[in-house]
Each structure stands twice: as C-alpha cells, then as structure tokens.
C-alpha cells in the first residue's frame, strides 16, 4: 500500500477536552491523502476514547508505556509516521481547512524539503491569562520566498527575533527523509527539552534553505494546560514541575553554557547548542553570543526582590569560563531593573485587543461564538480563503530551488 502524502502527528498528554477539537480540524480538510497519528503520552482512557470516537480510518492511536518528556513523546510519535511529509499539531492547536491542499500544491511546485508558514494564534477561553482569553490573531501577509536556513536561526538565538520565524514542526511540514537523516546523525530527531524550538533550529540548518509562505495554514492554540506558557509564566505550577521532572527522567539535560532560568531566550539557546553539538559541531558560523544571551535572560527573568541577586549570580555562573564576559555582565546587571513576578491581578480585567496590529487582524473570538480551536479554524479559514493562494501565483512562473 503506498505511503500517504502527509503524516499529521498529534502528541498529547491528558488533554482530551482540547484534543477532540484539534482532531476535528485535522479531519476537516479538503484533501484526502494523509494519516493522523495520535501519540498518547501515558494518558488515561479518555484520550483513547477521543481518538476512537472520530470513527476515522485515518486516525492511528499509539500510547507510550510510561510518562515521557515532551521531546521523547514527539520522538515516539514521528517514528510511527509513514507519510512523505510530516507535520506536528499540538493537542490544543489546529489546521485550517485548506492546510494540506495548499501545502501539497506548494510542495509540488517548489520541490522544497521544508515548508514553513505563518501561524494564526488563538487563546482558548481557559487561557492561563484571563485578560488574553479568546484572543484570535490572523496574519494578513501574502507571498512566498526562499529563506537561507541559518539566517533566521542566528537572528532568533542572538538578536532576539521572533521564534515562530523558525521552521518548527508546529508551523512547517518536512520531508520525512530529512527527519531520518537527523535521526541517523544524532541518534534521535529531538534532543533538547523543547522539541518545537529544537526542530526549527535543526531543520533550518540541515535543509540549508526552506520555503516560507505567509498565508497561515495552522493555528497555534494556547489553553490553560499548555506546557510552554506554564513553564515560562507560572514556573511554580504543577505543570511546570511535571515538565522538568519528565525531562530529567527521560535524560534530557540542560546545556551547561545556558542559564537555567525559565525564559524564552534560555530555552532557545539550549535548543541551539544541543543541535550544534549533535549535528553541526564543525560549523564555525553557528556561534552563540553568550554576552547577549546573559543580558537577554536577565531582561526576561522575573523574581521577588530577595531572589533577584540569586538570578544574577545564576546567570553569571554560566560565564565563569570566560572571566571578562562574567565581569562585564555583572557590571551591566547593576543597571537592569528587576522584573517583579506576575500575579493574578496582572491577568485580570480587559478583553483581547481588537484591530490591526503589525499586519495581523486581532479579534475577540467570543464575539463570533468561537469557543474552541475547531471553530477558530473555521473562522480564520473563512477570512484567509478570500485571498489568492500563493500556489496560483507560483503556477504562472517558472520556479525552481537549489537542491
């Protein structure tokens, strides 16, 4: 039996309520040649029930035999993919109705091994920040271009560029053979505590270049049970503690050159250094600006007044091998104001901002009766589908990429 065109991989852990709607977006496609793999991270029976209730022969359900770190569950999931191309949908995320058909058109026309797109962002009603609940942001950009892989990586890691610019498996589709190459070289596809960031970095560099389409094809959903949000915004939460415990049990180590503070610059740098060490150790162009990293971590960190000095020392400790960098950091750190810890009051009150901002249409999804990611995908799809597809534009041109 021939392999399907796409494998849509859905890793999940104990979130059947959001998983149900995520799977509906994956099944509500105007395309037929694909499979869906639900990879249950040792969850209770409700997860299997949700997968089986779809009644679709496309859906394959697998389950780990023990609780796994997020990266280990992704590893298990993609190992079961048999499609020519692979993408990952989180269990509170979703696909727009035309995602696979448009991706298929673009892949056939450009023959790229890696295709990235812009995200729609949706905050579920139970979002951990109540004042941001029901927010829906839809990109208004259009166009296709080739991007040299290392450029966005270094921009994100060293210059603080927006991390969704990376071709992460959350917002990209990759030829499965490229994942096989990474696994053969490094022993696994995902090798840091954040598989999304790691995939964006490793795939961009390994591919050399990737196709970038500005029309959104999927939704990044953020619910109250989102690992990433809780680890960064609420590091003392039960989910954050579980995140770190599962990573330790699964053998994912934090890179010693990166401050272990729960902020995005640190997670990005950790993923970058693990990718470089395992996959690109001899590439001298892939350099981490450790001074910039230290200041970025301090600028993003939040702490009580009696903890601030400890945060500074913790960051400085990662620079002890280069005394001049450590001394310079400690001097500059004296002038950095402390960011206080966020409280419930910071997240109360206002509704999502509405209007156009940075070429994104911002809506309050509740105003349109939207209560889940499937309804958000339908609404966003109606708005986006009114624009021409990039595939139509490319079809009128002779287009090729370097391979």
- Work out the pLDDT band at 399, boundaries 50, 70, 90: very low
Ordered DSSP codes for 197-236: HHHHHHHHHHHSEEEEEEEEEEEEEE-TT-HHHHHHH-TT
> Is the separation of the CB atoms in 87 and 6 below 8 Å?
yes
Q: Delineate the domains of the chain, giving CATH numbers in brackets.
A: 6-228+354-392 (3.90.550.10), 234-261+278-340 (no CATH)
Say if residue 401's pLDDT is above 60.
Answer: no
Q: How far apart are the first and last CA of the chain?
A: 29
Q: Which residues, 6+ apart, have CB-to-CB distance to 148 below 8 Å?
A: 208, 209
pLDDT at 390: 74
Q: What does the alpha-carbon distance between residue 207 and residue 205 come to, in Å, rounded to a whole number?
A: 6
The stretch 166-175 carries a mean pLDDT of 98
- Work out the pLDDT band at 402, boundaries 50, 70, 90: very low
Say if residue 187's pLDDT is above 50.
Answer: yes
Say if residue 94's pLDDT is above 60.
Answer: yes
Q: Are strands 209-222 and 360-364 parallel, antiparallel or unpaired?
A: unpaired
- Work out the pLDDT band at 395, boundaries 50, 70, 90: low
> Is the separation of the CB atoms in 259 and 297 below 8 Å?
yes
Q: What does the alpha-carbon distance between residue 280 and residue 288 come to, in Å, rounded to a whole number?
A: 13
pLDDT at 400: 41
Average pLDDT, the chain: 93
- Work out the pLDDT band at 231, boundaries 50, 70, 90: confident
């Amino acid at each position: 039996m021939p392999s399907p065109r796409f494998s849509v991989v859905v890793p999940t852990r104990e979130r059947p309520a959001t998983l149900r709607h995520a799977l509906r977006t994956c099944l509500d496609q105007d395309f037929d040649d694909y499979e869906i793999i639900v990879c249950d991270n040792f969850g209770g029976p409700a997860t299997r029930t949700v997968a089986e209730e779809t009644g679709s022969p496309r859906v394959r359900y697998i389950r780990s035999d023990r609780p796994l770190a997020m990266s280990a569950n992704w590893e298990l999931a993609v190992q079961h993919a048999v499609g020519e191309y692979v993408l990952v949908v989180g269990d509170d995320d979703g696909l727009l109705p035309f995602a696979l058909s448009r991706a298929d058109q673009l892949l056939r026309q450009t023959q790229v091994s890696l295709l990235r797109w812009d995200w729609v962002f949706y905050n579920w009603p139970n979002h951990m920040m109540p004042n941001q609940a029901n927010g829906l942001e839809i990109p208004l950009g259009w166009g296709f271009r080739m991007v040299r892989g290392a450029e966005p990586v270094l921009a994100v890691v060293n210059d603080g560029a927006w991390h969704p610019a990376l071709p992460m498996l959350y917002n990209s589709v990759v030829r499965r053979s490229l994942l096989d190459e990474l696994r053969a070289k490094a022993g696994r596809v995902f090798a840091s505590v954040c598989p999304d960031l790691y995939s964006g970095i490793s795939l961009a560099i390994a591919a050399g270049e990737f196709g970038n389409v500005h029309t959104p094809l999927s939704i990044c959903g953020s619910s109250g049970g989102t690992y990433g949000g809780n680890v960064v915004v609420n590091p003392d939460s039960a989910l954050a503690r579980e995140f770190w415990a599962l990573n330790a049990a699964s053998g994912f180590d934090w890179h010693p050159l990166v401050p272990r503070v729960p902020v995005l610059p640190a997670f990005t740098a950790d993923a970058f250094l693990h990718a470089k060490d395992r996959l690109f150790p001899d590439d001298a162009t892939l350099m981490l600006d450790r001074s910039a990293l230290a200041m970025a971590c301090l600028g993003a960190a939040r702490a009580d007044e009696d903890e601030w000095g400890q945060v500074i020392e913790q960051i400085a400790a990662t620079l002890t091998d280069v005394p001049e960098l450590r001394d310079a950091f400690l001097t500059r750190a004296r002038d950095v104001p402390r960011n206080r810890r966020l409280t419930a009051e910071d997240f109360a009150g206002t509704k999502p901002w509405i209007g156009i901002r940075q070429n994104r249409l911002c809506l309050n999804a509740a105003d349109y009766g939207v209560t889940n990611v499937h309804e958000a995908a339908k609404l966003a799809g109606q708005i986006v589908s009114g624009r021409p597809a990039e595939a139509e534009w490319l079809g009128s041109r002779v287009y090729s990429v370097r391979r």
